Structure formats: C-alpha cells, structure tokens
C-alpha cells in the first residue's frame, strides 16, 4: 500500500525545528515534523494537524518544496516500519505558537522532545563521513535532503522536484 505523508521544514533565526526521537536499536535521532494524511483530509489539513499534534504550533504559511518517495526496505530503519511505501510531500513553513511554550499535544511513537537545531551545526554534521561521530543523527533520506538543501543551496530547484530516497 502507498501512503501519503507531509513534512514541515520550519526555519527561524538560522535554526531548524525538529522532532527528537529515540528508539531501541537506533538511539536518539531527529526528524522533520509531520505524518500520514488521513482519509478525506487534504495535504494542507494534514500538515496543519500534524504540526499541532507534534509541536503544538499553528502553520500560518506554507510553500510546497518537493516530493520524496520512501520505500522502507531500502533504508536503515526498515525494521521499524516494514514494507511501507510513502509519498512524502515537503513544505517550507512559518509557524505561530498556540501556547507560551512549545509542546506536543499527541506525540508520535518514540518522540521524546522538540528541539531547535542550529543550521550551522547541521551543516557540520552533513560534512562528516563517520556516522558515529555526528552530533545529530538523521534518517538517511532526511540527511540526503538536508545535504542538498543546506549545503548545495538548492531551494528554487526543489519546487516540484520528485526523487526517490
């Protein structure tokens, strides 16, 4: 079965908003907020709902960036999500806090926090070849996306880009 998901790329003051997760056999890693589109829900509605649930924030503006295709058996976390085929819609978003502090309303499985990661530190991580020495660990699909987006500066190019990760 193919499943549609949405992801929010939220950047403010040279910081990236990320979900902090921890799983057995993986450890701590970071992911973009977002998740699966529900039946009878538009992508825009899914994006807004997921950001409220995972971050406690309201999306006030979003711009479509790209589509990624994820086939779980081809990646390092296939033991977590077996036989999943995802079409991932990524959006660049601006947010508004719903309360005085940011917190998840309905955290994902394995979600242990929400963090603002400095983009300059993410860039350093992206340049490191040795995975074990990286300060921030990202799933390989997001690591590859971040490399192109933050290091190669490919932003305009991503509008309507389709690629498999």
pTM value is 0.85
For residue 20, how many other CB atoms are within 10 A of its CB?
A: 16
Backbone conformation region of residue 72, classed left if phi is above 0, alpha if psi is from -120 to 50, else beta: alpha
Q: What's the confidence (pLDDT) of residue 109?
A: 80
149 CB contacts (<8 Å, ≥6 apart)?
Answer: 9, 155, 158
- Specify the residue for token string 């779980």: 72
Three-state SS string over the chain comes to CEEEEEEEEEEECCEEEEEEEEECCCEEEEECCEEECCCCCCHHHHHHHHHHHHHCEEEEEEEEEEEEEEEHHHCCCCCCCCCCEEEEEEEEEEEEECCCCCCCCCCCCCEEEEEEEEHHHHHHHHHCCCHHHCCCCCCHHHHHHHHHHHHCCCCHHHCCEEEEC
Give the class (CATH, top level) of 2-164: alpha beta
Q: Supply the pLDDT for residue 117.
A: 96
Question: What pLDDT is recorded for position 62?
Answer: 95
- In this predicted structure, the answer to whether residue 157 has a pLDDT above a threshold of 90 is no
pLDDT higher than threshold 50 for residue 163 = no
In tens, the pLDDT along 29-47 reads: 999 999 999 999 999 999 9
Half-sphere exposure of 41 (CA within 13 A, CB side): 17
């Amino acid at each position: 079965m193919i499943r549609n998901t949405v992801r929010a790329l939220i950047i403010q003051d040279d910081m990236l908003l990320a979900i902090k997760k921890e799983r057995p056999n993986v450890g701590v890693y970071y992911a973009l907020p977002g998740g699966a589109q529900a039946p009878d829900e538009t992508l825009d509605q899914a994006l807004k709902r997921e950001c409220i649930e995972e971050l406690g924030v309201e999306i006030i503006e979003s711009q479509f960036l790209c589509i990624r295709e994820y086939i779980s058996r081809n990646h390092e976390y296939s033991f977590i999500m077996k036989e999943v085929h995802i079409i991932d819609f990524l959006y660049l978003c601006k947010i508004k806090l719903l309360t005085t502090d940011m917190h998840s309303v309905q955290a994902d499985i394995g979600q242990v926090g929400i963090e603002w990661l400095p983009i300059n530190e993410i860039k350093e991580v992206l340049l490191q070849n040795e995975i074990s020495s990286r300060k921030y660990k990202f799933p390989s699909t997001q690591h590859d996306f971040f490399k192109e987006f933050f290091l190669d500066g490919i932003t305009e190019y991503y509008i309507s880009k389709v690629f498999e990760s």
